[in-house]
């Protein structure tokens, strides 16, 4: 399966479908950003009563090329705090890698809504993280906060939710894990 996914990803005849060319009822798929822009897809896997969770984020460029991914265990009191910390960590990673134009995509409507609007109208537990995200966003030449459906955020969801021994708290830059290739292709 890993070999098939690799061959498909490397195929010169691979067709990338965007939301505009999909038929009615088709599920949306991830679309690459414009040239010189990096997309940072983030997600959190929070479970009530556990106290800790995992966040995951994936950085890709205009050619859909994978630039880095990370999975990290954090402490979060609720799902919104976890999602906000995921956005913050994704921005930090993009800044550390030297990118200046980013689009941050998350399937958390509340977090993206607050970042695009008035953060002081958000949840009081999330406010400090939202403030830190906004402040960090000023370090980029261009920083856009974008909501996407969960079905479009599969790669980040996979990174956050798959607790396997090979998915430790490291950053993968050179090549993705074989278990991740299939999710990245989708």
Cα(43)–Cα(183) distance, integer angstroms: 14
Output the pLDDT for position 30.
Answer: 86
Cα(129)–Cα(91) distance, integer angstroms: 12
Cα(20)–Cα(24) distance, integer angstroms: 10
Distances (CA, A) of 18 to 21, 23, 29, 33, 89: 6, 10, 7, 11, 27
Q: State pLDDT tens for residues 45-93.
A: 887 877 788 999 899 999 998 898 888 888 888 999 999 999 999 999 9
pLDDT at 42 over 90: yes
Query: In sequence order, what are the residues at sequence separation of 6 or more whose Cβ sits closer than 8 angstroms to the Cβ of residue 95?
Result: 136, 139, 140
Output the pLDDT for position 19.
Answer: 38
Average per-residue pLDDT in the chain? 79
Q: Which two tokens stand for residue 110?
A: 């509340």
Q: Which of 95, 88, 158 is nearest to 127 (CA)?
A: 88
Percent of the chain surpassing pLDDT 70: 73
Output the pLDDT for position 13.
Answer: 36
Q: State pLDDT tens for residues 153-183.
A: 988 888 888 755 444 444 454 555 555 555 5
Output the pLDDT for position 110.
Answer: 94
Distances (CA, A) of 13 to 9, 10, 29, 86, 173: 10, 9, 18, 34, 25
Global pTM value = 0.73
Backbone angles phi, psi at 79, to 5 degrees: -65, -35
**Model confidence band, residue 3 (pLDDT cutoffs 50, 70, 90):** low
**Model confidence band, residue 1 (pLDDT cutoffs 50, 70, 90):** low
Q: State pLDDT tens for residues 133-152.
A: 999 999 999 999 999 999 89
Output the pLDDT for position 109.
Answer: 95
Q: Between vectors from CA 125 to CA 149 and to CA 87, what angle results, nearest 5°?
A: 40
Contact 93, 167 (CB under 8 A): no
Q: Which two tokens stand for residue 177?
A: 């894990």
Q: Which two tokens stand for residue 182?
A: 């299939």
Cα(175)–Cα(36) distance, integer angstroms: 21
């Amino acid at each position: 399966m890993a070999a098939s996914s690799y061959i498909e990803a490397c195929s010169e005849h691979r067709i990338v479908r965007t939301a505009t060319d999909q038929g009615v009822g088709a599920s949306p798929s991830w679309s690459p950003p414009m040239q010189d822009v990096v997309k940072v897809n983030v997600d959190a896997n929070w479970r009530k009563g556990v106290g800790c969770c995992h966040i995951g984020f994936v950085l890709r460029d205009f050619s859909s090329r994978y630039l880095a991914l990370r999975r990290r265990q954090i402490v979060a009191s609720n799902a919104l705090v976890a999602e906000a910390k995921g956005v913050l960590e994704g921005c930090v990673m993009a800044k550390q890698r030297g990118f200046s134009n980013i689009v941050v995509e998350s399937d958390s409507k509340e977090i993206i809504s607050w970042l695009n609007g008035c953060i002081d109208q958000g949840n009081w537990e999330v406010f400090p993280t939202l403030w830190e995200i906004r402040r960090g966003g000023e370090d980029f030449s261009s920083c856009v906060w974008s909501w996407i459906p969960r079905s479009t955020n599969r790669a980040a969801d996979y990174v956050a939710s798959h607790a396997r021994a090979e998915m430790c708290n490291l950053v993968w830059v050179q090549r993705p894990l074989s278990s991740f290739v299939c999710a990245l292709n989708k």
